[in-house]
Amino acid sequence: MERIMRTSRTFVALSATLALAGGWAGCGGGGGEGGGGGATDEHGNVIRTAGGSAVSEEAHNHWTEAIAMFERNEAAANGWTPANCQAAQSKFEEANNAQGGSFTEAIYMMGVVSGRCGDDEAALGHYRRALETNERYCGARVGVGLGDMRAGRTAQAREHFERSIRDDNQCTSGYVNLAIIQRQTPAEVREALNNLRRALAIESDYLPAFNQMALLYLSQAAENQRQMLDLAEVVCRQAQLINPNYAPIYNTWGLINVRQGNIIAALAKFERAFNLDGDFFEAYMNFGSLTLSFRGYEDATRAFTQARRLRAQDYDATIGLGAAQRGLTQVAEAEATYRAAIQIDAQRPEAYFNLGLLYQDFKGGAVADLRQATGFYEQFTQRAGNRPAMAETVEAVTRRCRRRPQTGSRRRREGQSEWVGDCRPGRVQQIELAIALQEEMQQMQQQMQQQGGGGGGGEGEGGGDGG
């Protein structure tokens, strides 16, 4: 059986770090002056917002409670429940209201909470509101840039990241996210690495910078450049020493292990990543793809099911789940999953190929099922067109072979292939041959029944010679 077509993308790295500014642990800083009627720090300095306004006692109390709530939810497994999302959002809103509606950090944190709770659109709205109160605020500027990245507006995203570091040369997340864009262009790889180093010079334990540096080295590692893979792994080890519970580094480390050919280690890393972060889509996808390639269908089914829990409309996760279900001979479930993929994107060809394979190889071989398989293959080839990535599979479906002559001087020798040039018929031709054989056998059976019925008349049930 041909290799199952699942997805054009086998392993998934994090395309954009969700590394918003890390300055949410406190609001503003000491202004070097005491008094003022507002909240003060332990040294008696007035606590100010990023815009320089003194923070009121009431606003600071709400802020302190909100940050504690945020950190509890971050630390807990599945901490961001709908109830916790609402509570944290409300508490930051109270801090903002107590500050007159212009508390930049609190508005920004409302965006962070929205992002944690799966509402990227609301998060983007909060980041824009925060910029209205302070257009130089690093986290909000980066958050708007990430919104552009998700929407495919790379040029606009780059402008935001570049401005974030112009406005604030300590904006670590701005350097990191700019580096992500730069490393996609060979001429800018060196500058991408420099920006990651700048981020680490500002914040030596900034884990998103470590993660992106490892991905950069990985992207630069050709098949024979072991040194780059070793560098990438060293970066992962350094990040692990800083925080052994940082999930993204294990996903990246797993990708490195795959390139090293260390599949067992890669599986363990991907599993560690999603065990640390139950919403880690890329880690589930990578684990599922790897286990599927080794026919670990049960593990793949669980991984792709979790991936679809997170992104029900992801085409590749849906195709992967269907392939795993088919491997478990869950034919009805696999068919339903492939049809769900068509609902997601009817123009992509993979689901049609897989449905054709399912009807040809897993439905029992009835003529009606074989004809249905041919229909799916036709839809597959129409949509695959001349795409280079699909060329091999299209050839395997459409290939036509000629039989060798069976008579005269060209009689086929024993042990020789019946097809000219040892050609192997494609799937559509295989179906045609199977249908022709079934029809021929059916005709022979009908002829035998007719002959048997005509020759037995007049003898009675006992028959025989009357003895």
The string of DSSP codes covering 230-298 is HHHHHHHHHHHHH-TT-HHHHHHHHHHHHHHT-HHHHHHHHHHHHHH-TT-HHHHHHHHHHHHHTT-HH
Mean per-residue pLDDT, 89-100 = 95
CATH 1.25.40 fits 280-335, yes or no: yes
CA distance 386 to 186: 28
Q: Is the dihedral of CA 233, 238, 239, 241 positive or negative?
A: positive
Q: What is the DSSP string of 32-88?
A: S---TTS-B-TTSPBBB-TTSPBPPHHHHHHHHHHHHHHHHHHHSTT---HHHHHHH
> Could you tell me the residue ranges of all domains in the chain?
16-27+38-181, 205-277, 280-335, 347-404+419-446
Residue 51 reports pLDDT greater than 80: no
CA distances 269 to 211, 253, 261, 309, 393, Å, are 14, 7, 14, 21, 31
Q: Which CATH architecture has domain 205-277?
A: Alpha Horseshoe (1.25)
User: What is the model's pLDDT at position 20?
Assistant: 41
Whole-number Å distance between alpha carbons of 198 and 202: 6
Would you state the pLDDT for residue 288?
Answer: 98
For residue 117, give the nearest of 306, 312, 279, 308 by alpha carbon. 279
Which one is predicted more confidently, 95 or 451? 95
Predicted confidence at residue 32, as pLDDT, reads 33
pLDDT (average), residues 361-388: 94
Q: Is the pLDDT of residue 21 over 70?
A: no
246 half-sphere exposure, CB direction, 13 A CA radius: 23
pLDDT at position 161 is: 97
Dihedral angle over CA of 233, 236, 238, 244, nearest 10: -140
**Chosen CATH of 16-27+38-181 out of 1.25.40.10, 3.30.2130.10, 3.40.1370.10, 3.40.50.10420:** 1.25.40.10
Say which residue, 466 or 383, is predicted with more confidence: 383
From 236, 260, 256, select the one nearest 247 (Cα to Cα). 236
DSSP SS3 for 467? coil
pLDDT single digits (tens) 221-250: 976 688 999 999 999 999 999 999 999 999
Q: What is the pLDDT of residue 78?
A: 80
DSSP letters, 300-340, are: HHHHHHHHHHH-TT-HHHHHHHHHHHHHTT-HHHHHHHHHH
pLDDT in the model for residue 291? 97
Rg (CA), the chain: 32
d(C-alpha 349, C-alpha 346), whole Å: 8
Cβ neighbour number for residue 37 with a 10 Å cutoff: 9
Q: Which residues of 317-334 are buried (b: 16+ CB within 10 A; e: fewer)?
A: bbbbbbbbbbbeebbebb
Largest CA distance in the chain: 129
Residue range 126-130: average pLDDT?
96
Q: What is the reported pLDDT for 460?
A: 43
33 has a pLDDT exceeding 80: no
The whole-angstrom separation of Cα 262 and Cα 271 is 15
**What per-residue confidence (pLDDT) applies to 87?**
96
Inform me whether the pLDDT recorded for 193 exceeds 50.
yes
Q: Please tell me the predicted confidence (pLDDT) of residue 420.
A: 83
**CA of 318: how far to CAs of 65, 300, 380, in Å?**
41, 12, 17
Which residue is listed with tokens 């980066």? 142
Give dist(CA 101, CA 99) in Å, integer: 6
| CATH topology identical between 16-27+38-181 and 205-277 | yes
Instruction: Give pLDDT tens digits for 404-446.
Output: 876 654 555 555 678 887 899 999 999 999 999 888 888 888 8
Distance CA 145, CA 16 (A): 10
pLDDT at 36 over 80: no
Q: CB of 211 within 8 A of CB of 249?
A: yes
Amino acid at 195: N
pLDDT tens for 132-172 read 999 999 999 999 999 999 999 999 999 999 999 999 999 99
> If we measure between CA atoms, which residue out of 8, 17, 18, 10 comes closest to residue 216?
17
> Does pLDDT of 76 surpass 80?
yes
Mean pLDDT, to the nearest integer, of 351-375? 95
Residues of the chain with pLDDT > 90, as a percent, come to: 73
Residue 128 has pLDDT above 70, yes or no: yes
User: Which letter does DSSP use for residue 3 in this model?
Assistant: P
pLDDT > 90? residue 191: yes
What is the rounded average pLDDT of the residues 344-373?
95
Q: What is the pLDDT of residues 100-116, one digit of tens each?
A: 999 999 999 999 999 99
pLDDT at 28: 43
Looking at per-residue confidence, does 224 or 337 come out higher? 337
